[in-house]
Amino acid sequence: MKWLFLNAKQRLQRIATNPGYAAKAMLREVTWADERFLAKITGERVSRIRQFIDEPAHTPEFLRHISECEKILRTTRFESADVYAKKVLIQYAIVRALRPETIVETGVANGVSSAHMLLALHKNRQGTLHSIEIGDSTYLPAGREPGWVVPDWLRGRWKFHLGDARQILPQLARELPSLDLFTHDSLHTYEHMKFEFEQAFPFLRPGGILIADDALWNDAFWDFASTKMEPNAQILHGVGSCARGSSDDCDLIASVRACTDLIAPALTDSGSGREAATKSAPALAAGALRCGSPGEPSLRSAAANPKEKEQYQ
Cβ proximity of 293 and 217 under 8 Å? no
Domains and CATH numbers, the chain: 2-249 (3.40.50.150), 250-299 (no CATH)
Give the 3-state secondary structure of 178-229.
CEEEEEECCCCCHHHHHHHHHHHHHHEEEEEEEEECCHHHCCHHHHHHHHHC
**Higher-confidence position of 13 and 106:** 106
User: Per-residue confidence at 129, pLDDT binned at 50, 70, 90?
Assistant: very high
Q: How many CB atoms lie within 10 A of CB 300?
A: 17
- The yes-or-no verdict on residue 250 having pLDDT over 60 is no
- The yes-or-no verdict on residue 47 having pLDDT over 80 is yes
* Range with the poorest average pLDDT among 69-78, 279-288, 298-307: 298-307
What was the pLDDT predicted at 253?
43
User: Per-residue confidence at 278, pLDDT binned at 50, 70, 90?
Assistant: very low
Helix, strand, or coil (residue 162): strand
Cβ proximity of 186 and 109 under 8 Å? no
What was the pLDDT predicted at 29?
85
- The yes-or-no verdict on residue 109 having pLDDT over 80 is yes
- The yes-or-no verdict on residue 258 having pLDDT over 50 is no
- The yes-or-no verdict on residue 9 having pLDDT over 70 is no
Q: For 191-228, write each residue's pLDDT tens digit.
A: 999 999 999 999 999 999 999 999 999 999 999 999 99
User: What secondary structure does DSSP assign to 71-133, as a single string?
Assistant: HHHTTSSSPPP-TT-HHHHHHHHHHHHH--SEEEEE--TT-HHHHHHHHHHHHHT--EEEEEE
| Neighbouring residues of 272: CB distance < 8 A, sequence distance ≥ 6 | none
Mean pLDDT, residues 36-61? 96
**Higher-confidence position of 281 and 105:** 105
What was the pLDDT predicted at 178?
92
**Higher-confidence position of 170 and 264:** 170
pTM of the model: 0.77
What was the pLDDT predicted at 56?
96
Q: What is the distance between the alpha carbons of residues 142 and 178, in angstroms, rounded to a whole number?
A: 37
Of the CA atoms within 13 Å of residue 270, those in its CB half-sphere come to: 3
What was the pLDDT predicted at 105?
98
- The yes-or-no verdict on residue 290 having pLDDT over 60 is no
Q: For 164-190, write each residue's pLDDT tens digit.
A: 999 999 999 999 999 999 999 999 999
**Higher-confidence position of 117 and 262:** 117
When the pLDDT of each residue in the chain is averaged and rounded to a whole number, the result is 80
* Range with the poorest average pLDDT among 82-86, 152-156, 237-241: 82-86
Helix, strand, or coil (residue 18): coil
What was the pLDDT predicted at 79?
63
What was the pLDDT predicted at 24?
79
What was the pLDDT predicted at 273?
46
What was the pLDDT predicted at 294?
31
- Angle made by CA atoms 46, 107, 184, in degrees to the nearest 5: 45
